Amino acid sequence: MGDIKSKLNYFNTIGLVAMEGRGFSNPVDIAIDSTQRIYVLSRTNPDQTEGIRIGICNMDSEYFGDFGEYGTGKGQFIWPTSIVFDSEDRLFLADEYNNRISVFDKSGKFIFCWGEKGNSEGKLNGPSGIAFDIEGNLLVVDHLNNRIQRFTDKGEFISSWGQKGNDLGQFNLPWGISVNNIGEVIVSDWRNNRIQKFSSEGKILNSYPDSDKLNIFNRPSSAVMDDDGYLYVADWGNERVKVLNSKGKLIQELKGEGSLSIWAEEFLDANLDQKKFRNQSDLDPVLDSNVKTAYEASSRIEKYFWGPISIKIDNQGYLYVVETNRHRLQVYSILKDI
């Protein structure tokens, strides 16, 4: 029948910069619960720690509140990196400063945590991405130890794989992780500028690109694979989202198409001076020759991705791109045709 071509179409934007309440502050990840509510992890910045929290919303931009606070105490976090739900709708959070995994219920009530800094089995040094395998165990990207560790959902160490290097199966500051529908593990090997795919036991299966001469990615931070084997990558250093087909060929590259969110429209309607100033501004300028990098271009053109750090797919066929520098989510529908 031939290969199925998959592509992304822009659908919606959710978000608004805010240090508290409705909005996000340098979001770094999302997780979606069993009712399709979206939990958005705001990491904020060191000078505005009041913005750190997990906000709860949905695709229609309804806001249901938030929880979390800055600190080292139980239930607090300082440098949160990733969140994921288990099958019981418990929310697991990785904190690379506190070197621990914290667990909350859907309402934000703290349940328990585990983690201790170190490099021996079961200890952590800068945990980043987290994901559940098909058996319900938690996979943790042990970022500064350049390995993947597997724990039970109670925090008991099971196994690990990986070491520092650039050979297949090795890592150099890996960041994101996901698991596809057959249990294969997708790791964003950040500094090696590649995505690696492993079996559920940690055996290397593939690398994207399959040659270090192709230079497709620049510091990729997150990747997910759909049921047909298409790979969607947050190419953080290039300020892009890239789509590879099931054969590993690059078939689509997006710069971003973000529009005003409902929250932003309501804010401007309540602040007419700012709305007037915005209407007079050129938000899609023709860039001059002094703009040399994708980062500079994205900082000047509002619709572009700026800091696409995390990428997730829900069970409704939508793909979410978390933009840390524009404090928003860009949502895309995944279209398929023969």
Amino acid at 77: F
Residue from 289, 271, 287 nearest 279 by CA: 271
Band the pLDDT of 5: cuts 50, 70, 90: low
pLDDT digits (tens, 9 = 90+) for 125-172: 999 999 999 999 999 999 999 999 999 999 999 999 999 999 999 999
The parent domain of residue 90 ranges over 5-337
- What is residue 6's predicted lDDT score, i.e. its pLDDT? 58
Amino acid at 196: Q
- What is residue 42's predicted lDDT score, i.e. its pLDDT? 98
Number of domains in the chain: 1
Instruction: Mark out the alpha helices in the chain (DSSP H runs).
Output: 262-270, 272-280, 294-300
The one-character DSSP state at 3 is P
- What is residue 338's predicted lDDT score, i.e. its pLDDT? 38
Find out whether the peptide bond into 209 is cis, omega within 30 degrees of 0.
yes
What pTM, to 2 d.p., does this model score?
Answer: 0.95
Q: What is the CATH number of the domain that holds 204?
A: 2.120.10.30
Band the pLDDT of 4: cuts 50, 70, 90: low
Amino acid at 287: L
Band the pLDDT of 324: cuts 50, 70, 90: very high
pLDDT digits (tens, 9 = 90+) for 59-75: 999 999 999 999 999 99
Give the residue, 279 or 30, on which the prediction is more confident.
30
Cβ count within 10 A of residue 172: 14
> For the chain, how are helix, strand and coil distributed in percent, rounded to 5?
10, 40, 50
- What is residue 282's predicted lDDT score, i.e. its pLDDT? 80
